[in-house]
Amino acid sequence: MFETIWLLVVEQGWGLALLRGAFVTICIGLVGMMIGLIAAVPFAIARWQRVRVLSQMIDVYSIVVRGVPGLLVIYLLFFGSVDWVQKIAVAFGYRDMAESAYPSIIGILAIATISCAYSIEVMRGALEAVPNGLLEAAKSLALPRSVAFFRITLPLALRLALGGINNVWQMTIKDTSLVS
């Protein structure tokens, strides 16, 4: 049985195509997830701090992107940004590069947009799960709010968010199949 699989995958040419596809999937997923997480942390902090207008805008973004199918987000970004991306590329003299790399860049941005929307909710939940007693202890030690946040709240929230971020990572890897 192993010989049959070996013949089909390696010797008849499908092995390299499968490895190339797996590599592209992992690259798009990793880059998109990293961009999404980097954007999600300040957005989650803004929602957790309840900055009125910004919190409402982030809430609308999160609800809309989580409620819309991923394929629609990809289509909106791909077909909705063709004109202005080409104009910017021509203005800077990168027309050839924009035409060849455009689908990959939009795919990564779409995956980042989707993973960011889910990561915002995971991070907000993790920030709310930090016990108030720790913040009260920091206040009793006369730590400034910024020091208490960056030394106590944020590291603990990141640890609490790991399980949910793992779920977002799995969803992101599944969503990369939509990019093809």
Q: Domains along the chain?
A: 53-179 (1.10.3720.10)
Range name among 6-10, 39-43, 152-156 with the lowest pLDDT average? 6-10
* Location of structure tokens 């010989």: 3
Q: What is the DSSP string of 80-97?
A: HSHHHHHHHHHHHT-HHH
Which of 155, 162, 172 lies closest to 30, judged by CA? 172
Residue 171 has pLDDT above 80, yes or no: yes
Which of 159, 170, 158, 171 lies closest to 38, judged by CA? 158
Alpha-carbon torsion (23, 95, 75, 125), positive or negative:
positive
Residue 6 has pLDDT above 70, yes or no: no
pLDDT in tens, 13-31: 677 777 788 898 999 999 9
